[in-house]
Amino acid sequence: MTVSPMRLICIALISFVFFAPSTLSAQNNLAARPPMGWNSWNHFHRKVDDATIRAQAEAMVSSGMRDAGYTYINIDDTWEGERDANGNIQTNSKFPDMKALADFVHSKGLKLGIYSSPGPKTCAKFEGSYGHELQDARTYAAWGIDYLKYDLCGLRDQMRAAPTPEAANKIMVDAYIKMRDALRSTGRPIVYSLCQYGNDAVWRWGTTVGGNLWRTTGDISDHYAKMAEIGFSQAGLSRFAGPGHWNDPDMLEVGNGGMSADEYRTHMSLWAILAAPLLAGNDLTTMTPETIAMLTNRDVIAIDQDGAGKQGDRVSAEGPIEIWVRPLADGSKAVGIFNRHPSPLSTQVDFKKLGFTGGVKAKDLWLSKDLGTISAPYAVTIPGHGVLLLRVSQ
């Protein structure tokens, strides 16, 4: 849905006037840092079942990902069955016992996430939560669910039938508030992940409906062009993120095979600078050592999870070379020098333009190499579609 800037301002004002008073009580003290984990959709799509989830949980531990900070094992769409005579949501035959599955995932020191829609149907046309929000939240809590991705999809039919964009927006905002309140009423800590593809500038009001994270774009795919379109379009959104409420440019594709190693390093580096949730979207049971090394790079994860919780942003774009900087809690900065061109390019980095004076100390995070003191202008060659990711301090 496209909404004019004037209408957006009206919607933001209306949202503020009506929903701001509930903002303080909306905080659930979760997601102090961007959530890390795994989600079934990017790799398995509809082919996800109980055995898949158990295998992914085991692989998350044996690969070292859990110890690197990955926590959530998130089941996406297609787990849902019909409702019983009392309206309680049932799992379908792929998930015979969700409580037992949650117990298993918890026994591995991990947490379990689930998926639903505020509409009558999910994107894959399974049962949504419309009219059953409280009941579903209670069911999730009874199963031991720790994270809910709430995907707009099926509610869009009602929104399209609304007389004005403002009325459509209210249908959506009300639906997200309804589930926020339902989750809160269970007393169980459940991370609340909004998924409505960034419509109506969700970053401006996602916090007021209790979102711990919100998708800022449409779906990612395992291609450089789509990943880059999404990732580099995040410029300007940094001020909307912070501890407990994050911009979500969608799940990772690292390890799914559609990009080169340099392109996947660009993906991870950009997501880390963006303080994005790191939700792996590959098959954790068949990872190459290179994929494991990328996903568990401690220095890169430290950028993503930095305690200051300040999202980075683009500071310059000269042709295909973009420099993005994220300020970090210890006063240093993550500096990503990206080459969006398919062939290698050389450039010079002037650290003065990035807020430093004189010589700087730097570490190359993908080479795990301390570069010592470097002085401007620093000449670098960046591989095609690649990145040089530095941690720079004065």
For residue 97, the surrounding DSSP H or E stretch is: none
Give the binding range for ligand GLA (CB under 6 A) out of 48-56, 122-130, 270-278, 349-357: 122-130
Kindly tell me which of 110 and 279 has the beta carbon lying closer to ligand GLA.
Answer: 279
Catalytic choice (77, 136, 151, 283): 151
Using the rule CB under 6 A, is 49 a contact of ligand GLA?
no
CB of 176 to ligand GLA, least distance (A): 15
Residue 171: C-alpha distances to residues 83, 129, 162, 277, 360 (Å): 24, 14, 8, 27, 51
Nearest distance in Å: CB 122, ligand GLA: 6
Helix (H, G, I), strand (E, B) or coil at 284: helix
Q: Which residue is nearest to ligand GLA (CB)?
A: 123
**Beta carbon of residue 41, minimum distance to ligand GLA (angstroms, whole number):** 5
Q: Within its chain, how far is the Cα of 355 from the centroid?
A: 28
**Amino acid identity, position 9:** I
Nearer to ligand GLA, 50 or 77 (CB): 77
Tokens for 129?
């939560």
Omega within 30 of 0 (cis) for the link into 383: no
- Considering only 120-128, 166-174, 277-285, 347-355, which stretch makes contact with ligand GLA by CB under 6 A? 120-128
Please, are residues 376 and 335 in contact by the beta-carbon 8 Å criterion? Answer: no
Task: Please give the size of the binding site for ligand GLA, defined by CB under 6 A.
Answer: 9
The verdict on 80 binding ligand GLA (CB under 6 A) reads no
Binding residue for ligand GLA, selected from 50, 76, 80, 304, defined by CB under 6 A: 76
Q: Is 304 in the site for ligand GLA (CB under 6 A)?
A: no
Quote the Cα angle for 247-250-256, to 5°: 150
157 catalytic per annotation: no
Among 53, 195, 252, 254, binds ligand GLA (CB under 6 A): 195
Establish whether 151 is a catalytic residue.
yes
Q: Taking Cα atoms as reference points, which of 138, 150, 143, 115 lies closest to residue 187? A: 138
Give CB contacts under 8 A, 24+ apart, made by 65-68.
65/38, 65/280, 65/284, 65/292, 65/295, 65/296, 66/108, 66/109, 66/110, 68/295, 68/296, 68/298, 68/301
DSSP state of 376: S
Instruction: State in angstroms the smallest separation of the CB of 168 from ligand GLA.
Output: 19
Binding residue (CB under 6 A) for ligand GLA from 53, 59, 65, 123: 123
**Residues 133, 135: Cα–Cα separation, whole Å:** 5
Site for ligand GLA in 136-165 (CB under 6 A): 151
Nearest approach in angstroms of CB 226 to ligand GLA is: 13
Minimum distance from residue 192 beta carbon to ligand GLA (Å)? 15
Return the bridge partners of 379, or none.
348
Q: Considering only residues 5 through 44, tell me which ones interact with ligand GLA, judged by CB under 6 A.
A: 41
* Ramachandran class of 210: left when φ > 0, alpha when ψ lies in -120 to 50, beta otherwise: left
The secondary structure element, H or E, covering residue 299 is helix 298-304
Stretch near ligand GLA under the rule CB under 6 A, chosen from 64-72, 98-106, 121-129, 281-289: 121-129
Considering only residues 212 through 241, tell me which ones interact with ligand GLA, judged by CB under 6 A: 219
CB of 39 to ligand GLA, least distance (A): 8
127 binds ligand GLA (CB under 6 A): no
- Contact flag: residue 253 with ligand GLA (CB under 6 A): no
Distance, CA of 61 to CA of 67 (rounded, Å): 7
**Residues recognised as catalytic:** 151, 219
Binding site for ligand GLA (CB under 6 A): 41, 76-77, 122-124, 151, 195, 219
